[in-house]
Amino acid sequence: MAGDGTVQLIDEKGKRVDGRDLDELRPLSIKIGVLKNADGSAEIRMGKNIIVAAVYGPRELHPKHRALPDRALIQCFYRMATFSVNDRKSPAPSRREKEISMILADSLSSVVLTEKYPRTAIDVYMQVLQADGGTRCASLIAASVALADAGVPMRGIVSSVAAGLINDKVALDLYDLEDQKGSGDMPLAYAPTLDEISLLQLDGIFTIDQFEESLDLAVKGAKEIFEIQKNALKQKYTDIRADVKEVPKAEAKEVPKAEAKEVPKAEAKEEPKA
């Protein structure tokens, strides 16, 4: 929720409270394949935000009457852990969490080739472990690469970041203090390879010039984040290749020919005919 913009958030040198320039992102890192049981997963650290995204599916949808005859249903579950914010959050899903889940599902549905998997569900869980503003954008960044990690076919990768107003100036990637004390917040989701915007929200009052400047800045930020997403995905395969190379030859046992007996015909049971 944007504030009234009266708190001084930019110093005389034009630096923000956390030392960033107005057009600078927070430090961002993404790790792919962090969960063993998920089909695809990613962990994102964006400033102090820590979020894990897990993808399951395409899989059977329950209850079945919710299935879509011509495409897969993308279901997002954005949740904040009780300990992720200063004031303990109730574990029950809040209206805010349900709304964010819905808009994130809409954004991801715009790039996933859902028509390839009719009547199925693709479930995307986003768990915020530590929140510091911009969690919906960070969740979307992680969810998008987790979908790629799960091998879900997509037209492009969604990237996401907010721009906003602090002391009447347009700034990129607001953190919690700027989100609360600034006067406007505009989260955006953008797929750079498609040049498509799939989420645009606005909180606060922007002039037309401020809106256009925010939009340009958020798109520029999303393009920077997209490069980090691509590198994280490439890194996963570099790591796998390194692991495979490291296996010493002695461990990669070959079965001696004498041991590789043929199964006697009597043991090779036939399936009883129905």
Q: Which of 39, 43, 123, 132 binds ligand UDP (CB under 6 A)?
A: 132
* CA atoms of 177 and 20, how far apart (whole Å): 13
Stretch that binds ligand UDP, among 83-91, 109-117, 238-246, 252-260 (CB under 6 A): 83-91
Binding span for ligand UDP by CB under 6 A among 60-68, 82-90, 192-200, 214-222: 82-90
Which of 89, 105, 110, 160 forms a contact with ligand UDP (CB under 6 A)? 89
Q: Does residue 135 interact with ligand UDP by CB under 6 A?
A: yes
Applying CB under 6 A, which of residues 22, 68, 81, 85 lies at the interface with ligand UDP?
A: 85
Please tell me the count of residues contacting ligand UDP according to CB under 6 A. Answer: 12
Cα gap 219→197, rounded to integer Å: 9
Nearer to ligand UDP, 57 or 134 (CB): 134
Tell me if residue 255 falls in helix, strand or coil.
coil
CA dihedral 256, 262, 267, 272 (to 10 degrees): 120
Is residue 107 a contact residue for ligand UDP (CB under 6 A)? Answer: no
Residue closer to ligand UDP by CB (options 59, 96) is 96
- The H or E element spanning position 148 is helix 135-149
Q: What is the DSSP string of 111-145?
A: TB-GGGSTTEEEEEEEEEEE--S-HHHHHHHHHHH
Is 101 an interacting residue with respect to ligand UDP (CB under 6 A)? no
Angle at 77 between CA 73 and CA 83, to 5 degrees: 175
